[in-house]
Amino acid sequence: MARPISAPRGTRDLLPEDSAAWNRAEAIARDLSHGYAFDRIETPLFERVELFHRGLGEASDAVEKEMFRVGGATGSDEEKAEWALRPEPTAGIIRAFVEHGMHVRPGPLRLWMLGPMFRYDRPQAGRYRQFTQWDVEVVGDAGPMVDAEVIELGHRYFAELGLTDVVAYLNSIGDAVCRPGYRAVLVEYLAAREDRLTDDSRRRLRTNPLRVLDDKDLDPEVAAAAPRSVDHLCDACRAHFDAVRGLLDSLGVRYELDHRLVRGLDYYTRTTFEFFVAGRRGQQQALGGGGRYDGLAELLGGRPTPGIGFGIGIDRSVLAAAEQEAPVPEEPPLVAVVSQQPDDLAARLAAATALRAAGLRVRVDGSARKLGRQLESAAKLGARWAVIVGDDAHTVVLRDLAAHEQRELTLSEVAAAIG
Ligand code: AMP
380 CA to middle of ligand 1, Å?
Answer: 38
Write out residues with Cβ below 6 Å of ligand 1.
88, 119, 121, 127-128, 131, 133, 286-289, 311, 313, 315-316
Burial class (CB in 10 A: 0-12, 13-18, 19+), 249: exposed
CB of 170 within 8 A of CB of 125?
Answer: no
In this predicted structure, what is the pLDDT of residue 214?
Answer: 84
Q: What is the largest CA-CA distance in the chain?
A: 90
286 CA to middle of ligand 1, Å?
Answer: 7
3-state secondary structure of 271: strand
> Does the N-terminal peptide bond of residue 227 adopt cis geometry, omega within 30 degrees of 0?
no
In this predicted structure, what is the pLDDT of residue 267?
Answer: 75
**Cα dihedral 232, 236, 237, 238 sign:** positive
In this predicted structure, what is the pLDDT of residue 123?
Answer: 93
In this predicted structure, what is the pLDDT of residue 375?
Answer: 97
263 CA to middle of ligand 1, Å?
Answer: 11
**Cα dihedral 409, 413, 418, 419 sign:** negative
Report how far apart, in Å, the C-alpha atoms of 385 and of each of 358, 375, 398, 414 are.
15, 9, 7, 10
291 — phi, psi (to 5°)? 170, -175
Task: List the beta strands (DSSP E) in 88-161.
Answer: 109-118, 130-139
- Protein residue whose Cα sits closest to atom 16 of ligand 1: 127
3-state secondary structure of 197: coil
Question: What is residue 198's DSSP assignment?
Answer: -
In this predicted structure, what is the pLDDT of residue 281?
Answer: 82
Query: What does the alpha-carbon distance between residue 405 and residue 385 come to, in Å, rounded to a whole number?
Result: 10
- Protein residue whose Cα sits closest to atom 18 of ligand 1: 127
Cα angle 312, 313, 319 (rounded to 5 degrees) comes to 130
In this predicted structure, what is the pLDDT of residue 195?
Answer: 93
3-state secondary structure of 123: coil
In this predicted structure, what is the pLDDT of residue 36?
Answer: 98
Q: Which residues of the chain have pLDDT under 70?
A: 266
Per residue in 230-274, pLDDT (tens digit) is 999 999 999 999 999 999 999 999 999 999 998 877 678 999 999
Candidate from 14, 130, 133 with most ligand 1 atoms within 8 A of CB, to mutate: 133
Residues in the chain: 419
174 — phi, psi (to 5°)? 75, -170
3-state secondary structure of 102: helix
Ligand 1 atom with least separation from CA of 289? 4
In this predicted structure, what is the pLDDT of residue 21?
Answer: 93
CB of 290 within 8 A of CB of 170?
Answer: no
In this predicted structure, what is the pLDDT of residue 251?
Answer: 96
Candidate from 119, 151, 292, 296 with most ligand 1 atoms within 8 A of CB, to mutate: 119
311 CA to middle of ligand 1, Å?
Answer: 8
Q: Beta 46-48 vs 130-139: how paired, if at all?
A: unpaired
In this predicted structure, what is the pLDDT of residue 62?
Answer: 78
Candidate from 64, 93, 113, 117 with most ligand 1 atoms within 8 A of CB, to mutate: 117
301 CA to middle of ligand 1, Å?
Answer: 27
Task: List the beta strands (DSSP E) in 62-148.
Answer: 68-70, 83-85, 109-118, 130-139
Query: What does the alpha-carbon distance between residue 206 and residue 415 come to, in Å, rounded to a whole number?
Result: 68
The domains of the chain, with CATH numbers, are 17-178+233-323 (3.30.930.10), 334-418 (3.40.50.800)
Ligand 1 atom with least separation from CA of 286? 10
